[in-house]
């Protein structure tokens, strides 16, 4: 069992933070949401005690909620497909086929030119130059917040790339979480915080 303050001190997210009542989920955040989660209706579950049993219950509820998300996506995709088939005409389908065929012929013609082939090779080998800036992007992974920060210095490669691994932060908090427990409890604690040691090496 651990406290709300421990989550803030160690930057814990995911099940560890939600098990103590800290509702931190990037998918539910209006400012940090991504993909199409904004158009879906789903719940985030929180606990109160911050122990292994709370984390187990949250995992079980999240598995059921994942099925709910999948069903909503399937319904939305099938509804969009049926509406698309009803509203589009034969002329639109012909136009789509024409543009696809035109793209295919353009790609073939582009690779038949030596100049374009050299230009294409230089673009993919050297990349493009990016203005000096800093960006951070994150997603809600099953273990917590997984983020990547990039710093550009004006060249075609990043000056610095930092991967925020949730497993590293979870493992870093293990001494605080295991305080006062027995050695046999370590197995359950590592299992419920879901540490992947290969991910920690990042």
For residue 107, pLDDT beyond 70: no
Distance separating alpha carbons of residues 152 and 132, to the nearest angstrom: 5
Distance separating alpha carbons of residues 8 and 174, to the nearest angstrom: 14
Q: For residue 82, what pLDDT band results from cuts at 50, 70 and 90?
A: low
For residue 91, pLDDT beyond 50: no
Q: Are 189 and 166 in the same domain? A: yes
Q: Are 189 and 156 in the same domain? A: yes
Q: Are 52 and 136 in the same domain? A: yes
Does residue 54 contact residue 19 with C-beta atoms inside 8 Å?
yes
Q: Provide mean pLDDT across the span 164-182.
A: 85
Q: For residue 5, what is the enclosing H or E element?
A: helix 4-10
More confident residue, 163 or 142: 163
62: left (phi over 0), alpha (psi -120 to 50) or beta: alpha
Which domain does 13 fall in, by range? Answer: 4-80+128-200
Token pair listed for 36: 């199409």
Percent of the chain with pLDDT over 70: 78
Q: Are 66 and 100 in the same domain? A: no
Q: Are 105 and 167 in the same domain? A: no
Q: For residue 136, what pLDDT band results from cuts at 50, 70 and 90?
A: very high
Residue 15 neighbours by CB under 8 Å, 6+ apart: 55, 58, 59, 62, 142, 143, 144, 192, 193, 194
Distances (CA, A) of 37 to 25, 63, 79, 93, 140: 11, 16, 17, 30, 11
Q: Provide mean pLDDT across the span 193-199.
A: 81
Does residue 55 contact residue 15 with C-beta atoms inside 8 Å?
yes
Q: Are 39 and 116 in the same domain? A: no
Q: Are 122 and 133 in the same domain? A: no
Q: Are 104 and 134 in the same domain? A: no
Task: Look up the pTM and report it.
Answer: 0.68
């Amino acid at each position: 069992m651990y406290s709300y303050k421990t989550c803030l001190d160690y930057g814990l997210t995911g099940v560890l933070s939600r098990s103590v009542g800290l509702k931190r989920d990037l998918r539910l955040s209006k400012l940090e949401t991504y993909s199409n989660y904004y158009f879906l209706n789903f719940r985030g579950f929180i606990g109160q005690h911050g122990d292994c049993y709370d984390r187990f219950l949250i995992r079980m509820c999240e598995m059921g909620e994942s099925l709910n998300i999948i069903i909503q996506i399937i319904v939305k995709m099938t509804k969009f497909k049926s509406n698309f088939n009803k509203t589009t005409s034969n002329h639109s389908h012909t136009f789509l086929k024409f543009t696809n065929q035109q793209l295919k012929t353009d790609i073939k013609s582009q690779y038949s030119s030596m100049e374009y082939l050299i230009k294409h090779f230089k673009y993919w080998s050297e990349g493009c130059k990016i203005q000096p800036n800093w960006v951070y992007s994150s997603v809600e992974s099953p273990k917590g917040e997984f983020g990547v920060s990039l710093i550009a210095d004006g060249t075609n490669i990043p000056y610095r790339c930092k991967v925020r691994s949730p497993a590293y932060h979870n493992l870093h908090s293990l001494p605080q979480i295991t305080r006062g427990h027995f050695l046999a409890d370590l197995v359950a604690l590592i299992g419920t915080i879901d540490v992947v040691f290969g991910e920690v090496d990042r």
